[in-house]
Amino acid sequence: MEDDGYYLETDLDFSFTSTTTDRTFTSSSARSSLARSSLTLSFNDRLSTATTPSTTTSSAATTLHHRRQDPHWTAIRAATTLSSDRRLHLRHLKLVRHLGTGNLGRVFLCHLRDCPTPTVFALKVIDRDVLTAKKLSHVQTEAEILSMLDHPFLPTLYARIDASHYTCLLIDYCPNGDLHSLLRKQPGNRLPVSSVRFFASEVLVALEYLHALGIVYRDLKPENILIRGDGHIMLSDFDLCFKAEVVPTFRSRRFRRVSTPPSSPRRRRRRGGGCFSAESTYEREEIVAEFAAEPVTAFSKSCVGTHEYLAPELVAGNGHGSGVDWWAFGIFLYEMLHGTTPFRGETKEQTLRKIASSDDVAFPLELLEGEGMREAKDLIQKLLVKDPTKRLGCARGAQDIKRHPFFEGIKWPLIRNYKPPEIRGLVKKSTKAHAGHVTGVSSPRRRKWLWWTLSNLLRSKRSNSKIQSNNNSYHYVGKSYNASHKRV
């Protein structure tokens, strides 16, 4: 079971000194960094209490953060209150298991020791000694950006602990993995339009917030969209971001609204209620004040990102701004609906050539059929405009994208309260788990779920068919498209 560690409190004290406990290594560079780490870093009390002084920076937002009442902050406050220097140290944390290895370091599931209501976190451990100067600057960027964030669809940085040559970032743990892995579990590697609309809306709101802070994200892709325990998203990986000036503005926008006059039975009687009565619709002009915060003057020349998601201006290398995120948003929509990206070539060179060519995005037939697909296609076409000055979102930011008919009916201020879609591979946690607690004993509901999964597994083995549908869950054995997007 993928996330057993989330439920089962273990007595294991995963030590970094043990190479046998760590099995999830992704690259040779990660492996070499591990070899070095394995000699020196030990998350035992000895290291953090006596020999190595550590400095903690709790997120500046501790007192202001919108989630300051949630159990994570409460647990951190409890731990630091008991700490002699009122700081959080590595000794306060107990590692549960290794979650994955990235470009900069390894990520562990952990919780606070001696906490009455154990609360889980993800701890990103970066060994600065094995990183190049360029990667060190990425660490700096990531830590700096994380410390600025206070948004439900972005990680909270609970603490930064610098101990010896390690920098450790304590952030929210997302038990549902990333959207790329979730897509790979769906039939045809794609999601239904309603689910796409849900995830796209949340990503859009997160990008809007980043842009309002002057942050250009530059690495939007399903791999970087983690799914929280409650099914909502959390954008991750901020090491490729760049920061620019932004001047938020309120603008007045005129628009014509088509309305039906309010009608009471009395009024209807008076009007006679005929076909051509005053019951017909009428148009009125409205003026609304809109908040727009798009870093329109943002400019960078470095070519960073992930091949299939790179905007043409990034590929050309003549400089780019926040429009690269709106291009990537178009690619992201296409991939969720179609299962693959639109400019993917046999090789990375070919992919870049296709992006840079003047050819417009092509839509396979299935992307043209079905409810909401016409609107989706129109939105994708408007986002994948090669000239950034004509691309949707580049002038007034997310506001223009939110108004597109694809998102019609979305009540943006209530987006956090929307029920996440029920899709295959998304495990809903109980309220307790969703708040981030580790539970020692498996609940009757979980036991029931385990039995249900086990019996389904046996049934699907017996009948050996390709796709089995059981209400709304599918067991799919098809052509797998596993390659995740690697960065430039």
Ligand X SMILES: Nc1ncnc2c1ncn2[C@@H]1O[C@H](COP(=O)(O)OP(=O)(O)OP(=O)(O)O)[C@@H](O)[C@H]1O
Of 3, 178, 219, 237, the catalytic one is 219
Minimum Å distance from CB 26 to ligand X? 7
Site track for ligand X across 210-229, x = CB under 6 A = ----------------x---
Count, residues near ligand X per rule CB under 6 A: 20
Position 206 contacts ligand X (CB under 6 A): no
Q: Which of 239, 313, 325, 400 forms a contact with ligand X (CB under 6 A)?
A: 239
- Decide whether 185 or 487 has the Cβ nearer to ligand X: 487
Q: Which of 41, 47, 96, 104 forms a contact with ligand X (CB under 6 A)?
A: 104
C-alpha 341 chain-centroid distance: 18
Site track for ligand X across 177-196, x = CB under 6 A = -x------------------
Residue of closest CB approach to ligand X: 102
How many angstroms separate the most distant Cα atoms in the chain? 90
Give the bridge partners for 169, in sequence order.
Answer: 124, 160
Minimum Å distance from CB 100 to ligand X? 2
Stretch that binds ligand X, among 97-105, 248-256, 319-327, 416-424 (CB under 6 A): 97-105
CA distances from 402 to 63, 258, 295, 333, 386 (A): 32, 19, 17, 14, 20
Give the bridge partners for 251, in sequence order.
Answer: 290
Position 124 contacts ligand X (CB under 6 A): yes
Alpha-carbon torsion, ordered 35, 38, 41, 45, to 10 deg: 170
- Decide whether 100 or 372 has the Cβ nearer to ligand X: 100
Rounded CA separation 235/153 (Å): 6
Minimum Å distance from CB 365 to ligand X? 33
Rounded CA separation 325/338 (Å): 20
- Decide whether 79 or 226 has the Cβ nearer to ligand X: 226
- Decide whether 176 or 399 has the Cβ nearer to ligand X: 176
Q: Which two tokens stand for residue 445?
A: 């509901």
Beta strands in 137-191 (DSSP E): 159-163, 166-171
- Decide whether 5 or 342 has the Cβ nearer to ligand X: 5
Minimum Å distance from CB 111 to ligand X? 13
Residue 254: φ, ψ to 5°: -90, 135
Q: Which of 61, 122, 145, 241 forms a contact with ligand X (CB under 6 A)?
A: 122
- Decide whether 348 or 447 has the Cβ nearer to ligand X: 348
CA distances from 49 to 54, 328, 399 (A): 9, 45, 50
Question: Do you know the residue count of the chain?
Answer: 488
Minimum Å distance from CB 219 to ligand X? 7
Position 100 contacts ligand X (CB under 6 A): yes
Rounded CA separation 217/237 (Å): 9
Residue 219 annotated to the active site: yes
Stretch that binds ligand X, among 103-111, 250-258, 284-292, 307-315 (CB under 6 A): 103-111
Minimum Å distance from CB 379 to ligand X? 27
CB 292 within 8 A of CB 396: yes
- Decide whether 99 or 328 has the Cβ nearer to ligand X: 99
Helix (H, G, I), strand (E, B) or coil at 207: helix
Helix (H, G, I), strand (E, B) or coil at 101: strand
Stretch that binds ligand X, among 98-106, 146-154, 183-191, 461-469 (CB under 6 A): 98-106
What stretch of H or E contains 139? Answer: helix 133-148
Q: Which of 402, 127, 120, 344 is nearest to 221 (CA)?
A: 344
* Those residues with Cβ within 8 angstroms of residue 104's Cβ, 6 or more apart along the chain or in another chain: 124, 126, 131, 135, 138, 139, 142, 239
Q: Which of 33, 59, 103, 167 forms a contact with ligand X (CB under 6 A)?
A: 103
Q: Which of 29, 67, 102, 192 forms a contact with ligand X (CB under 6 A)?
A: 102
Please return the burial class of 28, using the count of CB atoms within 10 Å of its CB with bins 0-12, 13-18 and 19+: exposed
CB 391 within 8 A of CB 400: no
Site track for ligand X across 156-175, x = CB under 6 A = ---------------xxxx-
CB 247 within 8 A of CB 234: no
- Decide whether 105 or 330 has the Cβ nearer to ligand X: 105
Q: Which of 99, 123, 168, 394 forms a contact with ligand X (CB under 6 A)?
A: 99
Rounded CA separation 153/151 (Å): 6
Residue 225: φ, ψ to 5°: -110, 105
- Decide whether 388 or 436 has the Cβ nearer to ligand X: 436
Q: Which two tokens stand for residue 157?
A: 């940085």
Stretch that binds ligand X, among 38-46, 71-79, 99-107, 439-447 (CB under 6 A): 99-107
Minimum Å distance from CB 485 to ligand X? 10
Minimum Å distance from CB 484 to ligand X? 9
Residue 289: CB atoms within 10 Å: 8
Minimum Å distance from CB 240 to ligand X? 8
Q: Which of 236, 300, 341, 399 forms a contact with ligand X (CB under 6 A)?
A: 236
User: Mind telling me the catalytic residues?
Assistant: 219
**Residues contributing to the site for ligand X (CB under 6 A):** 99-105, 107, 122, 124, 171-174, 178, 226, 236-237, 239, 487
